[in-house]
Amino acid sequence: MKKIEFSKSFQVENRDADADEKTKYCTVEWSNSNHSELANLIQEKMAQKSNLNVLEIGVDRNAGDSSTKCFKSNLRHEDKYLGVDIADRSHIIEGNRINFVQTDAKDYQKVLEKLTGLNMLPIDILFIDGWHSLNQVLAELEYVQYMNDDGIIILHDTNGHPGPREVIRCIDKKEWDVRNHCPQENDYGLSSIRSR
């Protein structure tokens, strides 16, 4: 997939900060609407293609519902998933289908070696929900070059956290179709990006 370009300048005080003021209204980390909207996007991709490759950055942090659980319950046996997290989330592993690598998402060599070994390139769905600073999210968007042209990038926390919010606000909308699936103020937000 082509490189993401931005048509506006980023407005963040600290490019390495994860959270800001706007997140104070959000009470549920992974809402029911986040779950149903992500499930819809997964179903949409599954209707287009068999053997999907999914890369998730930031994996299953809490005991309750999560994006990871949404992927695990929706993906088919032939689809492949790789989760990347700096913390140990190896409890998610399921046979050859659901895989995990413990590392910083910026360790491209380690993540790409794992994706290659699992025969998971190119990527069809890139889900970004790790450290939410602008610098980290921009670094994670480097994986876009390893995606199919018709792949979909999905970001959680696009309503408040600085990195996801600024990426969605500033991305060049002439080149990219950007949709906020959960715009309500008390939700952390879930947005998708597709190449036009």
Q: Which residues make up the interface to ligand SAM (CB under 6 A)?
A: 30, 57-62, 66-68, 84-87, 104-105, 129-131, 136
Q: Nearer to ligand SAM by C-beta: 39 or 195? A: 39
Question: Quick count: other Cβ atoms within 10 Å of Cβ 29?
Answer: 14
Is the CB of residue 6 less than 8 Å from the CB of residue 171?
A: yes
DSSP-derived secondary structure letter, 3 = P
- Our CB check for ligand SAM shows the closer of 68 and 192 to be 68
Nearer Cβ to ligand SAM, position 37 or 129?
129
On the question of a cis peptide bond just before residue 122, with omega within 30 degrees of 0, the verdict is: yes
Tell me the closest approach of the beta carbon of residue 119 to ligand SAM, in angstroms. Answer: 22
Q: Which is nearer to ligand SAM, 84 or 167 (CB)?
A: 84
Q: Could you tell me the smallest distance in angstroms from the CB atom of residue 70 to ligand SAM?
A: 8
For residue 60, the number of C-alpha atoms closer than 13 Å in the C-beta half-sphere is 19
The vertex-193 CA angle with 34 and 184, nearest 5°, equals 35
DSSP secondary structure letter of residue 2: P
Least separation, in Å, of the C-beta of 175 and ligand SAM? 27
Question: Whole-number minimum distance, CB 143 to ligand SAM, in Å?
Answer: 12
Task: Report the residue number whose CB is nearest to ligand SAM.
Answer: 58
